[in-house]
Amino acid sequence: MSWTAQALRERFAVHGRFYEADLGGQRWALRSHLEIFDPALSWPDVARAEADLVAVMMNPGASRPLAPPDAGGWAPAIPDRTQYQLMKLALGASARGWPIRHIRVINLSDLRTPKSTVLFEAIGGMADDRHSMFSPSRAAELRQALGSGHAPVLRAWGMAKQLSPLLALALPTLKNKMKLGLTHDGVHYRHPLPQRADLQARWLLEVGAQMDVQAAARRC
């Protein structure tokens, strides 16, 4: 089925946790979590619940709140085309018998930098790693976000070599988690939204096939 953006927004609500922090001598806008969920689920209970799927992306990009965040930093968020792709993945899996009503998106870096060049420059020159949920200083927060281990982790942070410092933090933490994602080297994973429409469809097809294999293994 071909889903329009409007139809996807009717099927899923999106909330993010936004905050600001001083890092490397500069004030940054950040986002730590994005919760994509069936509106029938209760908010804010979703923020504390285990997700059906955890996606690890590069960074939040230009993500912004739709309203002033509450005291905890939470606000409805504007979905982007990548998040629509995740919604399509969830709907496809649900149609094939693996219900996914709640996706949690976390990132290698919380920095809200629309331009990847700005992110890569910051990563290369910032000794303070607290902008990453995979920082040792945020271990408890990461454990809560990932959950008990039943939810698969979709690795979808892209192919950029500049991510190496953050991947050195993330990969050891994720090694024992149920894994989804398309890779040629076990380190770099294809982004859900390549530029070409045919490659976007291919990503959905191939990751969907991985999920079908895992679903069959669960039933055994």
Tell me the residue range of the domain where 202 lies.
5-219
Q: What is the pLDDT of residue 216?
A: 81
- Say what the pLDDT of residue 220 is: 66
Report yes or no: 134 and 173 within 8 Å, Cβ to Cβ.
yes
Q: Which two tokens stand for residue 110?
A: 């919380």
> Which residues are CB-neighbours of 48 under 8 A, at least 6 positions away?
144
The pLDDT tens digits along the chain (220 residues) read 689 999 999 999 999 999 999 998 999 999 999 999 999 999 999 999 999 999 999 999 988 999 999 999 999 998 999 999 999 999 999 999 999 999 999 999 999 998 999 999 999 889 999 999 999 999 999 999 999 878 999 999 999 999 999 999 999 999 999 999 999 999 999 999 999 999 999 999 999 999 999 888 777 6
The residues, ordered by sequence, that sit 6+ positions from 92 with a Cβ below 8 Å of its Cβ are 204, 208
Based on the structure, what is the number of domains in the chain?
Answer: 1
pLDDT at 40: 97
How many beta carbons lie within 10 A of that of residue 217, not counting itself? Answer: 9
How would DSSP label each residue in 161-187? GGGHHHHHHHHHHHTTS-EE--BSSSS
